[in-house]
Structure 1
Amino acid sequence: MPIRRPALLIRPELDDDALRRTLDELRPTQQLHGLGAGRTRPPWEPVATLLRTTGRDWDRRAHRLTVLAEHLPTAVPQRWTTDRPTDGDALTLRAFVASHRTPATDHGAVRHAEHICLRAAEACPEDPTPWLALLSLMYTCAVPVKDAVPVWTEAVNRAPWLRTSYHRLLRHLSPRGHGTVPDMMDFAWQAAARAPHGSPLALLPVAARVELMAHRQETTPLDALGSGGGNWNEPRAVHEIDLALKAWFDADTAPHAEAVTDLNILAFALTRAHRPAEAAPVFRRLGRHMTRHPWNLLPEPERTFAYWRDRSTADRGR
């Protein structure tokens, strides 16, 4: 009888259990008779508690705000800012929701979303996350890179090595965004070279190379089906993966909020570069946690992930 493997965990909250519990509590299916019907406390209170306990952990705050903005019922942040119009957490969540859900074609809505972002920044002067919301809005509106960089700088000035800030600008610099391949790769290399030892920014060039593979797959799909789409075996790529392993994966640092995402990027790169022995410990650290990207660049992404994960488990038992 074949061994049944536990199902993969593909969750927007990654391995953040507190965030998952908050999302479950506010799942739209629980609001069929009106948001907060039958409750003795306001519907936004679980979110307020979550963000309050997150405190000044900007890394986890950015992750939680991003996921909440994508998955909360719209009425929750609207009700929160109505009830607490000067609350910095409420305003910042509203800014993230606005930046995520505002269509670029609605110029009035874009101006309103920008106003919300700036109100949040004023209410939370030491917080980098309102500036990240504004940067996302600029991405949606195809604002040129030269105009987005000052906003990115505002976030970096408040939290110099915040992972989310660098990945947001990398997306802006991507040829799939509003930049070019040379600008994207140069930014990633410089950030990784300057980041302190143990920072997940050591992985930024690998993330950029994944983005390069995605870009090439869109333009010449057949070229990217194998490892060639990202040039994973050229000397520069080898150096990038080596740096990510030495300066981040092998460093004795506490996991950051999006470690699951970064581990998936690293595992993907190692498999594309045909380095299974080094991929095995990465998959062991991941366990059942998979992210859809970058595996969705390959046919049968879940099957591919499970193959490499199971192979690493088998190798460990030898």
Structure 2
Amino acid sequence: MLRRRPSLLIRPALDDDLLHATLAELRPARQLHGLGAGTTRPVWEPAARLLRGTGRDWDRRAHRVSVLAGQLPAVVSQRWSADRPGDGDALVLRACVETIRAPAEGHAAVRAAERTCLRAADTCPGDPTPWLALLSLMHSCAVPVQDAVPVWREAVRRAPWHRTAYHRLLGYLSPRGHGTLPEMMEFAWQAAARAPHGSPVALLPVAARVELTAHRRAASPLDALGTNVDWSGPRAVQEIDMALTGWFRTAAPAHAEAVADLNVLAFALTRAHRPDEAAPVFRRVGRHMTRHPWDLLPDPERTFVYWRNSLAGHRRG
């Protein structure tokens, strides 16, 4: 059995080394279970330092807050917001933590999470992150799409072409979420067609096609065996071309979740049997594999390593 190669980095922080270091700093059991007892700084200080340094980079802020909320014990955000009740960063992190936990805790917890999101939005009026947290809460609670779209619009009004905002709504519109296949594909195509040159939103139709593959695989494993057809048709070719020319081959600076988008693009190019174009994508991915979308294939790590290594000698594109 193939063990995970040491050269692979599969981590929630992606290639954000500051975020990864902050998670490592916050995880020691002595700090978390003792709430920092005996130390000269509060338990939440590393998270506060990270978000303070992130500033108004809304793209990176959304990524960092989301990862912190999903990886850290809730006690960190609870203690921070209790110690600094007017701190916007503390409120935003707590809102994201509560939206993750509340749906499993019942109606009262959901209502409390909603209030925390709105408080965070009031405290940080220019920040789209509280609205994205509220959108995630609505998704978890199966709120109809038409009621969620205004919340999504609040996020993109504050940060037009926000990569995370578009992917969150794509998930909402997915047949695995609360929408339909035509709604999802139409949204992805319209967004990509209007996106500025260099925006990662150009990849949205490819991400939608990956979501279609996941939907079919969940519906019937036998259907998944034929999903290569989805990657070879004219529409799929056009989607991949749009991602390559509209984002990958541009001079746009890397965004916070570029590693995740590169993995999606590499996956699509291997499914579409386009090795010459996949090779430079894998070179840019480097060691940073993401579990999705490779988890749609048998033995994801072996498959990723196979393609990365076999394409290493291809001509540079």
Task: Verify same fold: TM over 0.5.
Answer: yes
The aligned residue for residue 21 of structure 1 is: 21
List aligned pairs for 1:1-318, cutoff 5 A.
Answer: 6-31=6-31, 34-103=34-103, 106-228=106-228, 231-315=230-314
SS, match of residue 125 in structure 2: coil
In the alignment of these two chains, the number of paired residues is 313
The 3 A distance-change label for structure 1 pair 32 and 142 is closer
Does the 8 Å CA contact 1:104/1:141 hold for their aligned counterparts? no
**Structure 1 residue 314: deviation in Å?**
2.9
CA–CA separation in structure 2 for the residues paired with 1:223 and 1:32: 45
**Structure 1 residue 72: deviation in Å?**
1.0
SS, match of residue 308 in structure 1: helix
SS, match of residue 69 in structure 2: helix
Query: CA offsets, 1:30-65, max 9 Å, x none?
Result: 437512122101111111110011000000000000
CA–CA separation in structure 2 for the residues paired with 1:32 and 1:255: 33
Aligned residue type for 2:313: A
CA–CA separation in structure 1 for the residues paired with 2:154 and 2:27: 34
TM-score (norm 1): 0.95
Aligned residue type for 2:231: W
SS, match of residue 149 in structure 1: helix
The 3 A distance-change label for structure 1 pair 94 and 316 is same
CA–CA separation in structure 1 for the residues paired with 2:309 and 2:89: 42
CA–CA separation in structure 2 for the residues paired with 1:6 and 1:302: 12
Structure 2: gaps of 5 or more residues: none
Q: Which runs of 4+ in 1 moved over 2 A?
A: 4-7, 28-33, 225-228, 314-317
**Structure 1 residue 235: deviation in Å?**
0.6
Identity of aligned residues (%): 73
SS, match of residue 102 in structure 1: helix
Does the 8 Å CA contact 2:276/2:315 hold for their aligned counterparts? no
Query: CA offsets, 1:270-313, max 9 Å, x none?
Result: 00001111100000111111000000000000000001110121
**Structure 1 residue 117: deviation in Å?**
0.2
Does the 8 Å CA contact 1:226/1:272 hold for their aligned counterparts? no
Does the 8 Å CA contact 1:54/1:60 hold for their aligned counterparts? yes
Aligned residue type for 1:314: G
CA–CA separation in structure 2 for the residues paired with 1:214 and 1:304: 17
**Structure 1 residue 227: deviation in Å?**
3.9
Of 29-38 and 278-287, the range deviating more from structure 2: 29-38
CA–CA separation in structure 1 for the residues paired with 2:99 and 2:177: 16
Structure 1: gaps of 5 or more residues: none
CA–CA separation in structure 1 for the residues paired with 2:31 and 2:207: 38
CA–CA separation in structure 2 for the residues paired with 1:189 and 1:213: 17
Aligned residue type for 2:288: H
Aligned residue type for 1:270: L
